[in-house]
Chains A and B, each alone.
Chain A
Amino acid sequence: MKLDLDFSVLARGDYPQWIVQGVITMLELTALAWLLAAVLGTVLALLRMTDSRLCKMAVAAYVEYHQNVPMLVQIFLWYFGIPSLLPESVQMWANAVGGEFMFAVIAVGLCMAAYLSEDLRGGLRAIPRAQYEASRALGLSYLNAARLVILPQAARIALPTMVNHTVLIFKNTSLAMAIGVAELTYVTREIESQSFRTIEVYLLSTVIYLAVSLLIMAGGAALEQRYRIRTR
């Protein structure tokens, strides 16, 4: 195999702009999906802590569905399946405003909410019940007890797995290329098929993916360090 790499190809024409745009789309997807997953995941974890059997079963069903179906299939179901159930005017609107990005955010966000809620639940279960009772005895409402006492401690315990799953959200945004979202993997394929400089393009995007992933992992490690419970 002969290797003659020519990275200057990547600076030609519109390619730099494409790549930058692809990276921006990728990061937007990650940020929005993470936000959706974090908010919904917290709600689901809290719902599962309530005494209602119905709530618990509904959350369990939600989690099992999203953890046992491939994310690509979930994306397809949202992108191809759900719009066909909606009225035509909504479909037209979704197509006009670029539905694929929106559906990718929804699919990835809803799926990862299941994972994040399980992380948080693991953290919540590790907090002794007395903590909750003590904060209620001090006069905090249920919500305040959760917000000020329980969740901060649970989040600290759940942090390592939550960081892993954040990396997973980031990596899985690449699946959005399958429904035509112009994120980094999609752009990489486009440039490759135009320029035929396979190694150069794929090397660049692989390095970008790896760099962002390592950055998230390092950020997580820094957070862990910062919020570690100090003992003497």
Chain B
Amino acid sequence: MMKKNTDVLIIGAGLSGLMAAAKAADSGKKVLLVAKGMGALGLSSGCIDLWGYSLDHPEEICQDPVQEIIKMVAAQKDHPYAKVWDVLEESLSFFQQICSQNGLAYEVAEKGNWLLPTALGTVRPTYLAPAGMAARELPRAKNILVMGFQGLKDFYPEVLTTNLKNNMNLPADCQLTTLMLDLGKIELSPNNLAYLLEKDEVLQRLVSQIKPHLAEEMVILMPPVLGERGHTKVLLNLVESLGVQVYEVTNIPPSLPGQRLQQALLHHLKKQSVEIILGCTVIGTTVLGEHCTEVLAEGSGKNLTIAAKSIILATGSFLGGGMEAQPGKVIETVFHLPIKVLDEKWSAKEFLSLEGHPFSKFGIEVNNHLQPVNSQGEVVIKNIRVIGANLAGANYPIEKCGNGVALATGYKAGKLVGEV
């Protein structure tokens, strides 16, 4: 049995866990991060959604997400943002700073929210977008060219253009055209395509196929496949060779933009001397009184005991494996912390209900220090902080706040344990 001692143990490698690790390390703490898998970040858009729509008019995009959140938490005290709104802006700057230091620049919109296209041709409001997705010129474009790849079965230019016309306010004279690029492959996955595009000769083959279709003031939209990690490089090469703006749009997983963000953050953590053990599952805990003194973890057949002053729980919700649903109850999988299950009905009748599904809000309740509390509001285990999708009260899919909550709660937890 191997033993480890650390100031801060973080369980989970999603956005919240990585942020918490970055901030705790920034405060000078010794940080160990263990995670069962790669987290759900690789399934996400790669953008940071803070808050999408107006509270009073849920169909209208909100133009000042930070103000909207402050207004919202005044009424909804049990929303995760209510515990972290005070650090929201500094958490955003911290995030932008560490991402850009690691080669992944994030941009803010002219107005509060970007309105960025998806592969379905819908438009999603988001607060921070990687430079390769931040389609600044799109609302004024005279020509939009949507490009797909023969062999890539998850992206269809016609679907994007058909719906973009209905979903985005485009100039009346805007021309939408499509083009299928051919790399001579029958089947391509987003990851192997991204790998191929990092090769200059492949990129130049693309350029020669695109050039005959270029027009004035054109914006090109593509599936998010422009490079695995050297994202900016592939994009810049393409923009330079074509002389027009090129952007990636959000698509179904696997999501390269989400994976790139994860890689950039992991890279940052390594530089900060954070120890990271992936493929490592916490299988037992020792709780004495109101403190967790030790956890038992298992990775590649070996057991490991970890003693930590502070523990940050970032194992996610059902998808990430942090919670498990059984008939009539929900279990938090590591510490069996109390889970708030709000409704008798866990899901709405309509899959695409504008109210969302009650199960989205299931999670652990915390105090302002992000410590888990029971239904009487008493702290359950004092040296644990709970962050991200583990938290109760957010209706992520409808409010469009998932990555924002992860980022702000992760940051605050990292900051709090830095002060311990």
Partners in one complex: no
Where the two chains meet, the residues of B that have a C-beta atom closer than 8 Å to any C-beta of A are none
